[in-house]
Amino acid sequence: MGGQILMNRNATAFLNNEYQELVEKDLDWKLRILESGSTPHSVVDGKKVIMLCSNNYLNLSNHPKLIQSAIDAAKKYGAGSGSVRAIAGTMKLHIDVEKKLAKFKRTESALIYQTGFAANSGLIPQLVGKGDIIISDELNHGSIIDGVRLTKADRAVYKHRDVGELEKVLKDADKKYRRILIITDGVFSMDGDIAPMDKIVNLASEYGAMTYVDDAHGEGVIGPEGRGIGAYYKIEGKIDVEMGTFSKAYGVVGGLIAGSQDLINFAFNKSRTWLLSGSHPPAVAGAQFAAIDVLEKEPQHVKKLWDNTNYFKKELKSMGFDTGTSETPITPVIVGESSKAKELSNKLFEEGIFALPIVFPMVAKDKARIRTMMNAGHTKEDLDYTLEKFEKLGKKLEII
Amino acid sequence: MIKKIGFIVNPIAGMGGKVGLKGTDGVLKKAVKLGAKPIAENKALETLKEFISHFQTKDELHWFTCAGIMGENELKSVGFKKIEIVYTPKSNKTTDIDTKNTCKKFLEKQIDLILFCGGDGTARDIFKIVSNKIPILGIPSGVKMHSGIFGINTNATAKMLNEFVNKRLTIGDAEIMDLDEKLYRKGKWNIRLFGIAKGIVEPTYVQVGKSIFESVSDDEVKNELAEHIKDEIEKNSDYLFLFGSGGTVDYIAKKLNLQNTLLGIDAVYKKKMIGNDLNEKRILRLLQKYPKVKLILSPIGAQGFILGRGNLQLSPMIIKKIGLDNIIVVSTPAKLSSTPFLRVDTGDKKLDHLFTEKEFMMVVIGYRLSRVVKLQTNNF
């Protein structure tokens, strides 16, 4: 006898319901369409704007050498790679990038992942498991958090950049766990401050813990030649996992890790994200190679980025803006209430400046802000124009 | 939607404080004789003014209140128009009966939130009638405010009211505490947990997308905590588990199908409840039989106490036997955001000192997730 069907289920109604819920709460993403390249002057939704929210810090995505190298690689090796890395998709191009990267980072070895997210969510769950603990800065980026969620390890959170609290957790964890993994962002994406990696590495060696840094916003930006957080603190090779991305300052796409040969062998044999997605097309690998080459040979880009950053920050401060604890090109302009940040962002856009508001709960309720990101491609005129508008609107909205 | 807010002012709340009476329960005449002046009216006005001037247009709320000095005067004097008088006190010398009668009307009117001005005593009177059916928010104006429903000052209370009205705060557990004033005036300290009311709390946010956070309900967080404790019990199968008092621990126990007492200490062994609402003596007897013990605690009340408020059964001797390392502190992140410190007041200075030496505790705030919280002893 057949069972009676009781439920008249609408299988996909939730798609629209949940989307509408986001729309009502104003939490849905309204995609802005870039009609130009990601350049210091971009065309966004038909309007010419000065771009302040791109991660293309060094403007390398528009560098002729990267573009040429991508074209050459595509012409020579085709549009796609044909496979995952593990089977038949590892091209000599990929190996060349990895070798060049390890040399640049001054580590034994390096490995390219499909994206930064794939690196975090693929590697972290392999490094720890049941009976282990991950100790994490409270402000770590979402992709780290997801990687952490995929593990069976316990998790403990310490106060942002608070080495004292970190040590307390280490002390507590020391006797209870098999492996201990400390994870932190290198440069924090909301505030632009830098993790005290030198101290973290010292503590870690004292307690026999591993260290893992997500240096997505530090690669190509901090340290000599933009070699990242290891170089910034002169502790190259001492961080167990230096993770980063080619999608920001390097101007391309792709995740990366740098560390010992043991780490790399372990990582590519065990990371499911790496094993189960197709490898980068030749054009991407070509551009990645050229990006590192440019960083090695043309120090002017990193220098220009910092000149712009220092000038912009100094001027904002002298106008009376609060730029928080930033030490990098990520410069938050803290305005207070969420509604004010949104209003300022809209008004800036009308004036031809594209900078997004960051509001609660991404940051504290009274610390809503406009997050600006400097670019080596901005001219002094760009910055002066931007500063003038910030001052005008800041006064109008009673922020300064 | 228009929110219905019930408003009660206990005009005599806080009068005992300045004259050293630690409360007005039963000793109002004496307080007045000693020169006590009413303060509740001003606290209520401050809060309402702050609320109006910074946050809210005047007509979005529908107020329900008592006639005269128990609420009507304050609401009118700051200019609210939509006011419904639900109860009129018999005389100007108002008592707890008036508070309770008003609350009965609030239940009938199905209001969304009770805003009151008073102390722990007023909170208890309200709770006795509305239980956990209506969330309660307190404007601190009493002598003792150990309950978890108070804003830290009038400004903070006004802000919370605004956030509640604008749906940025959610509803969660808040303890109502009870201090025996007669004993207290004799210098004895006996704060009990009176009940678990509904209060308004900061939601917990979980990052679900790159920049998208979802607020999760108090219950969802507590489900995670229950999952965590379940693992602990399975991992330590030869341990006796003592479940402390309060809403969070109670929720966890019920989730694990254990018939726990909300206000008492209960014992669980091999996933079975073996003792309910235990006093010190019975706990000590259990400790003799079961040498390996873990104690589950949660901060109780407004100041983050894990020991010494609402769980005096857990005497210093018991805590020493269990050992500090066997204490598991659980808390929703929402609760921790309002109590940046954990506090202990065991009644034994040396034991308190052992806690302070530790400086911090790892507090479980989700499934297999903990964070560092600083410890303080009761030094105020």
- What is the domain-level CATH number for residue A192? 3.40.640.10
Helix (H) / strand (E) containing A383 = helix A380-396
A104 inside domain: yes
C-alpha distance from B293 to closest chain A C-alpha (Å):
17
Q: Decide if B70 contacts B25 (C-beta within 8 A).
A: no
Number of Cβ within a 10 Å radius of residue B18:
14
- Does A350 lie at the interface with B, CB-CB under 8 angstroms? no
Residue B184: predicted pLDDT: 63
Number of Cβ within a 10 Å radius of residue B65:
27
Peptide bond into A361 cis (omega under 30): yes
Q: Is the pLDDT of residue B202 over 80?
A: no
Q: Which residues contact A240 (CB under 8 A, 6 or more apart)?
A: A204, A210, A211, A212, A259, A260, A263
Q: Decide if A30 contacts A348 (C-beta within 8 A).
A: no
Q: Averaged over B166-190, what is the pLDDT? A: 75
A223 inside domain: yes
- Give the 3-state secondary structure of residue A77: helix
The Cα–Cα gap between A359 and A340 comes to 10
**Which has more pLDDT, A46 or B152?**
A46
The Cα–Cα gap between B34 and B39 comes to 15
Last residue of a domain, one of A239, A271, A297: A297
Residue B105: predicted pLDDT: 96
End-to-end CA distance of chain A: 77
User: Based on the domain organization, do A259 and A366 belong to the same domain?
Assistant: no
- pTM for this one? 0.83
User: Based on the domain organization, do A312 and A282 belong to the same domain?
Assistant: no
User: Based on the domain organization, do A368 and A270 belong to the same domain?
Assistant: no
A222 inside domain: yes
A22 inside domain: no
Residue B273: predicted pLDDT: 95
Mean pLDDT of chain B: 86
Q: In what order do the strands lie in the sheet with A41-44?
A: A41-44, A47-51, A353-354
Residue B30: predicted pLDDT: 77
Which chain A residues have a beta carbon less than 8 Å from that of B326?
none
- Does B231 lie at the interface with A, CB-CB under 8 angstroms? no
- Does A101 lie at the interface with B, CB-CB under 8 angstroms? no
User: Based on the domain organization, do A282 and A389 belong to the same domain?
Assistant: no
Per mean pLDDT, which range of A41-45, A97-101, A220-224, B310-314 is the poorest?
B310-314
Query: Residue A318 sits in which domain range?
Result: 29-57+300-396
Of the partner residues A145, A156, A168, the one whose CB lies closest to the CB of residue B207: A145
The Cα–Cα gap between A52 and A383 comes to 10
A13 inside domain: no
Number of domains comprising chain A:
2
User: Based on the domain organization, do A309 and A382 belong to the same domain?
Assistant: yes
Pairs of residues, one from chain A and one from chain B, whose beta carbons lie less than 8 Å apart = 41
Q: Is the pLDDT of residue B59 over 60?
A: no
User: Based on the domain organization, do A263 and A305 belong to the same domain?
Assistant: no
Residue B147: predicted pLDDT: 87
> What confidence tens digit (pLDDT) does each residue in A345-383 have?
999 999 999 999 988 878 887 889 999 999 999 999 999
User: Based on the domain organization, do A132 and A164 belong to the same domain?
Assistant: yes
The Cα–Cα gap between B301 and B147 comes to 5
**Which has more pLDDT, B144 or A269?**
A269
Q: Is the pLDDT of residue B49 over 50?
A: yes
DSSP A212-238: EEE-TTTTTTSSGGG--HHHHTT-TTT
DSSP strand pairing (A133-137 vs B113-118): unpaired
Whether A168 and B368 lie within 8 Å, measured CB to CB? no
User: Based on the domain organization, do A52 and A182 belong to the same domain?
Assistant: no
Q: How confident is the model at residue A9 (pLDDT cuts 50, 70, 90)?
A: confident
Q: Is the pLDDT of residue B19 over 70?
A: no
Nearest CA in chain A to B203: A361
- The tokens of B162 are what? 């605004």
Q: Averaged over A60-81, what is the pLDDT? A: 97
Q: Averaged over B279-291, what is the pLDDT? A: 95
A342 inside domain: yes
End-to-end CA distance of chain B: 43
Whether A156 and B213 lie within 8 Å, measured CB to CB? no
The Cα–Cα gap between A315 and A311 comes to 6
Of the partner residues B210, B215, B369, the one whose CB lies closest to the CB of residue A142: B210
Q: How confident is the model at residue A213 (pLDDT cuts 50, 70, 90)?
A: very high
User: Based on the domain organization, do A232 and A95 belong to the same domain?
Assistant: yes
The Cα–Cα gap between A99 and B337 comes to 47
> What confidence tens digit (pLDDT) does each residue in B120-142 have?
899 999 999 999 999 999 998 87
Of the partner residues B209, B369, B372, the one whose CB lies closest to the CB of residue A155: B369
A93 inside domain: yes
Q: How confident is the model at residue A67 (pLDDT cuts 50, 70, 90)?
A: very high
Residue B380: predicted pLDDT: 41
Task: Give me the residue label for tokens 């949660």.
Answer: B298
Residue B298: predicted pLDDT: 94
Last residue of a domain, one of A297, A315, A341: A297
Whether B362 and A169 lie within 8 Å, measured CB to CB? yes
User: Please, where are the H alpha helices in B62-132?
Assistant: 72-77, 96-109, 120-130
Of the partner residues A22, A27, A172, the one whose CB lies closest to the CB of residue B362: A172
C-alpha distance from B243 to closest chain A C-alpha (Å):
22
Residue A267: predicted pLDDT: 98
Helix (H) / strand (E) containing B286 = helix B280-289
Residue A104: predicted pLDDT: 97
Beta-bridge mates of residue A155: A134, B369
User: Based on the domain organization, do A231 and A355 belong to the same domain?
Assistant: no
Helix (H) / strand (E) containing A125 = helix A116-127
Q: What's A305's domain CATH number?
A: 3.90.1150.10
Which chain B residues have a beta carbon less than 8 Å from that of A27?
212
Q: Is the pLDDT of residue B313 over 80?
A: yes
Q: Decide if A223 contacts A174 (C-beta within 8 A).
A: no
A14 inside domain: no
Whether A155 and B370 lie within 8 Å, measured CB to CB? yes
Last residue of a domain, one of A277, A297, A317: A297
- Does A368 lie at the interface with B, CB-CB under 8 angstroms? no
Whether A142 and B359 lie within 8 Å, measured CB to CB? no
Q: Is the pLDDT of residue B56 over 60?
A: no
User: Based on the domain organization, do A114 and A36 belong to the same domain?
Assistant: no
Report the share of chain B in percent with pLDDT over 70: 88
Q: Is the pLDDT of residue B203 over 60?
A: yes
Active site residues of A: 189, 217, 248
Whether A156 and B207 lie within 8 Å, measured CB to CB? no
Residue B331: predicted pLDDT: 93
User: Based on the domain organization, do A214 and A270 belong to the same domain?
Assistant: yes
Of the partner residues B207, B209, B371, the one whose CB lies closest to the CB of residue A157: B371
C-alpha distance from A191 to closest chain B C-alpha (Å):
15
Q: How confident is the model at residue A106 (pLDDT cuts 50, 70, 90)?
A: very high
Report the share of chain B in percent with pLDDT over 90: 50
